[in-house]
Amino acid sequence: MKKLILYLALLSFVSCTTSNDNQLIIPEASITKDITIFIVNDIHGQIDNFSKVKYIIDKERDVTNVVVTSGGDLFSGNPIVDNYPEKGYPIIDVMNRVGFDISVIGNHEYDYGEVNLKNRINQANFDWVCANVDMDRSGIPQPFEYTTISVDNLRVTFLGLVETNGKEDAIIPSTHPWRVKNIIFEQPEDVVMRYSNIKDEENSDLYIALTHIGNNGVHGELGDHQLAEQFPYFDLIIGGHSHSKVNDIVNNIPIFQAGSYLTNMGKIKLTITNKHIETIEYELIDLNSRTEQDSELKEIINEYNDSPYFNEVIGFSHLNHEKSQVGCFITEALRKKMEVELTFQNTGGIRAELGHGDITTRNIFEILPFNNPMVIYKMTVSEIKSFLVGSGSGFYYSGVIFENIAGVLNVKDLDGRILSDEKVLSVGVNDYIPAVFDTYFPPNGIVMPQTDAETVISYLQEINDQVNYPDCDNYFRYN
């Protein structure tokens, strides 16, 4: 048998001598490599399951090459992280301990402002990527446009992209416009072509788009599906922003997302032969159903969570309030605490429902995680109408009645009397709204000392600690 194998090997070797100058030509040997890529996205400060994440990843590292990735939006959503003395510190600390390799910068990475983002990037032991941002003027360390991670004998290159749909008349992500004043963004579709040959230039085994642009763009926006269709340079795409569970193939390019809030983690097992994917397996791991965890990291997470302030009971909810009902509660609480005649709340600013039972400060910070200061404006009814019509957006509100009759917008007081266009009202909003819709607001608003969440907490503590909105649906969008 050994002689037969040797004979076949020699026969194969001799058959390779095909050149005209009688030189021996040996074909390139097939090189097969294995790797497992773990993915999370849209974590929004949820740290509890990271002890399970570490346990799972450490087990996988014992048997194969591993790369750990984040699809962005690490911040905004957990009071323990968002209101830590060094904003965002706990989640970067935990990710460092897990051993993350790379994260794309998501739109909510900018929520804490430039100084905090600078500190969190410097704190991280992993790489950050984003090809369509220039942060040089801000003092924040500039992320890599792309970077190559070497694991054993494998080279994996990641290109980062972030969405830029935050403001109609500007190219910025969906974050507070006043917090990215010193940062320049380009639309992702305008930069991708610059990196079409990166796989060859980096001599990489895999070229991956690590994106925070959403799964499927609308109204001409670039999402991961459009990226695969229009720019088919990548071996696969790992995404974020849309909070989706994705396991698709578009234009022969696999696309993955793992949901949101660290309830799941994606596991991609790949076999690479001569820089091409030979086999690929995907598993979406339900972290909430797992019991094994890294005990040391769990103890650290418990220490972060052990904050009496966030467990303080400040009110009672008489029912399970859905987001529209929460919108009624929030706008009424803001109006009464600020002593204004009208309040607006952007729907995207309300991030959680409110369950039946005791209300804690943590509940309010979960509903309003962005720490936006409140501002009071004096506006005529005509200006308010222009804002609602021109913005094209929907808002929760309290203090008046909006009525659209055949395209005619009326504003009534709570007794049903139509207010004249010249009537001046005091209007309370969080400062994100005039930052996005700046053309509709006066330049001289009065900035209040409390944020939106702090104002609502004060309302519960000082005015009314009972929340009960079974039939309220104060939402208006001009159509």
Per-residue pLDDT of 395-450, as tens digits, reads: 999 999 999 999 999 999 999 999 999 999 999 999 999 999 999 999 999 999 99
pLDDT of residue 31: 86
Tokens of 212: 């925070």
Which tens digit of pLDDT belongs to each residue from 61-91? Answer: 999 999 999 999 999 999 999 999 999 999 9
Residue with tokens 């999370």, as numbered in its chain = 40
Q: Dihedral through CA 53, CA 59, CA 60, CA 61, nearest 10?
A: 100
Distance CA 391, CA 429 (A): 15
The answer to whether residue 16 is domain-embedded is no
What CATH code is carried by the domain that includes residue 436?
3.90.780.10
**Could you tell me if 158 and 300 lie in one domain?**
yes
The answer on 169 and 135 residing in a single domain is yes
Closest CA to 54 of 307, 240, 304, 299: 299
pLDDT per residue over 102-160, tens digit each? 999 999 999 999 999 999 999 999 999 999 999 999 999 999 999 999 999 899 999 99
Residues 301 and 320 placed together within one structural domain of the fold: no
Would you state the structure tokens that stand for residue 76, as one six-digit string? Answer: 């905004």
Do residues 153 and 79 share a domain? Answer: yes
In a domain, 22, yes or no: no
The answer to the question of residue 15 being in a domain is no
Please say which residue of 278, 305, 332 terminates a domain. 305
The tokens for 281 are: 């397996």
Q: Contact 249/11 with Cβ under 8 angstroms? A: no
Q: Residue 132's Cα: distance from chain center in Å?
A: 16
- CA quadruple 411, 417, 423, 427: dihedral, nearest 10: -60
Task: List residues bridging with 248 in a β-sheet.
Answer: 255
Same domain as 319, residue 287: no
DSSP letter string, 50-110:
HHHHHHHHHHHHTTS-EEEEE-S--SSS-HHHHTSSSTTHHHHHHHHHHT--EEEPPGGGG
Residues 188 and 300 in one domain: yes
Percent of the chain whose predicted confidence (pLDDT) is above 90: 91
Residue 324 lies in a domain: yes
Order of strands across the sheet that contains 342-346: 446-451, 373-380, 424-430, 342-346, 394-398, 475-477
Closest CA to 139 of 174, 175, 102, 183: 183
**Which of 277, 305, 333 corresponds to the end of one domain?**
305
> Last residue of a domain, which of 275, 305, 335?
305
Regarding whether 216 and 352 lie in a shared domain, the answer is no
Position 13 scores a pLDDT of: 37
Strands 424-430 and 342-346: parallel
* Reported pTM: 0.87
Same domain, 254 and 346: no
Residues counted in the chain:
479
Q: Identify whether 340 is part of a domain.
A: yes
Any idea what the CATH number is for the domain that residue 81 is in?
Answer: 3.60.21.10
Let me know whether 84 and 214 are in one domain. yes
Q: Measured between alpha carbons, how far is 387 from 346 in angstroms, rounded to an integer?
A: 13
pLDDT > 70: percent of the chain: 94
| 296 contacts: CB under 8 Å, gap ≥ 6 | none
On whether the CB atoms of residues 173 and 180 are closer than 8 A, the answer is yes
Statement to judge: residues 212 and 70 lie in one domain: yes
Band of residue 11 on the pLDDT scale cut at 50, 70, 90 = very low
Q: Is the residue at 270 inside a domain?
A: yes
8 A C-beta contact, residue 378 and residue 429: no
Please tell me whether residues 297 and 332 are part of one structural domain: no
If DSSP codes are grouped into helix, strand and coil, which group holds residue 477? Answer: strand
Number of domain units in the chain: 2
Q: What is the pLDDT of residues 216-256, one digit of tens each?
A: 998 889 999 999 999 999 999 999 999 999 999 999 999 99
The answer as to whether 13 is a domain residue is no
Does 369 lie in the same domain as 333? yes
pLDDT at 24 over 70: no
Domain residues for the domain of 277 are 32-305
Residue 10 pLDDT greater than 60, yes or no: no
Is 170 within the bounds of a domain? yes
What average pLDDT is seen over the chain? 94
Residue that has been written with the tokens 């109204």 in this structure: 219
